[in-house]
Amino acid sequence: MTGQGGFGGMGPPEPGGPGGVVPPGQAERTLRLGGRSFGPQQRLVMAIVNRTPDSFYDRGATWEETAAMERVHEVVAEGADIVDIGGVPAAPGTEVTVAEEIRRTVPFVAAVRAAYPDLVISVDTWRHQTARELCAAGGDLLNDTWGGWDERLPEVAAEYGAGLVCSHAGGLPPRTRPYRVEYDDVMADVLERTLALADRAVTQGVDPSRVLIDPAHDFGKNTWHSLEVTRRLGEMVATGWPVLVSLSHKDFIGETLNAGRDERLSGTLATTAVCAWLGARVFRAHQVTQTRQVLDMVSAIQGDRAPSRAVRGLA
């Protein structure tokens, strides 16, 4: 079986579709990150490593460089396929200048690259100046959560042969919160914006097999919007572009379950399973082991992965 079979709207993208540039077809939907290639059936864990003193979930746990490197060792051992390193929290707050962002992230990315020559390193930034330094230090993927706010980001990705995440932030400026945001059709807006960004990236020379799209849960969205894009994630998958989701402990989960910051793991994993089932391929997460297990389970249910050890009733 093909793994993706049986789910609606999974055919190859129509030529000249909404994005203009035709994404990789069904057969060659290989995702390339750094020196590695991942087939359509592989579901990848992107482990979050924050170089911030104030990110919402870890509250600065990896602010110190030694702690951050420990975290990298840990997530690699737990089976992370990608590490995502960022130096600026998403929430509003004290300004982090380009120079400070570079100071927080560039030497660290270089150290991770030295320790793990083959590990895929994603860098969480929206600014092309930082992105350039990070790519030079060994970054493989630019994770632009703020929806293409800095138009020069694709140029950097193209220059360094890096990948690019094209996400939907509803047009909000970086580090702002949604306020009474409304959409005639939130998924239509997500598709329009992310496909336009993917199109722009490829036009500017980014390798199409290194472009992902991300609905960006919570960004420019209320909880109802995030639930809607989750429910309709298959529409993004159907475009042919690999879909990344970043769900871990976010507010839409907290609001759905009335769960505080430390009570959102079950909701995170449930949403992870649904997104995996609908065809997402990369999962940005804090808990690598649990996320890996959920993805392996979904892969097994879909028939993409054999059970690890099956003897029950077989003796």
User: Applying CB under 8 A, which residues contact another protein?
Assistant: 92-93, 176-186, 222-225, 227-228, 231, 255-256, 258
Q: Considering the candidates 29, 43, 264, 284, report the single residue annotated as catalytic.
A: 284
User: Terminus-to-terminus CA distance in the chain, angstroms?
Assistant: 27
Which is closer to another protein, CB of 60 or CB of 178? 178
Shortest Cβ distance from residue 183 to another protein (Å)? 6
d(CA 242, CA 31): 7
Give the tokens for residue 269: 């994993």
E strand or H helix at 254 = helix 251-257
The nearest distance, CB 257 to another protein, in angstroms, is 10
Nearer residue to another protein within complex by CB, 149 or 183? 183
Catalytic residue flag (residue 264): no
To another protein, the closest distance from the beta carbon of 284 in angstroms equals: 24
- Dihedral of CA atoms 179, 184, 187, 193 in degrees, nearest 10, equals -80
Give CA torsion, residues 307, 245, 283, 122, to 10 deg: 150
Catalytic pick among 71, 193, 250, 264 = 250
Residue closer to another protein by CB (options 229, 238) is: 229
| DSSP string computed for 183-237 | -SSHHHHHHHHHHHHHHHHHHTT--GGGEEEE--TTTT--HHHHHHHHHTHHHHH
Rank residues 44 and 233 by Cβ distance to another protein and give the closer one: 233
Contact 256, 267 (CB under 8 A): yes
**C-alpha dihedral sign at 148, 32, 104, 205:** negative
Q: At residue 86, what is the residue type?
A: G
The alpha carbon dihedral of 99, 101, 107, 113 has a sign of: negative
Rank residues 224 and 307 by Cβ distance to another protein and give the closer one. Answer: 224
Contacts of 2-5 spanning 24+ positions with Cβ under 8 A: 3/40, 3/41, 3/302, 3/303, 3/304, 4/40, 4/41, 4/279
Residue type (1 letter), 272: T
Q: Closest approach of Cβ 177 to another protein, in Å?
A: 5
Known active-site residue 250:
yes
Distance in Å, CB of 221 to another protein, minimum: 10
Task: Give the H or E element holding residue 88.
Answer: none
Q: How far is the CB of 191 from another protein (least distance, A)?
A: 14
Nearer to another protein, 66 or 258 (CB): 258
Residues facing 32 on adjacent strands: 37
Residues forming the active site: 250, 284
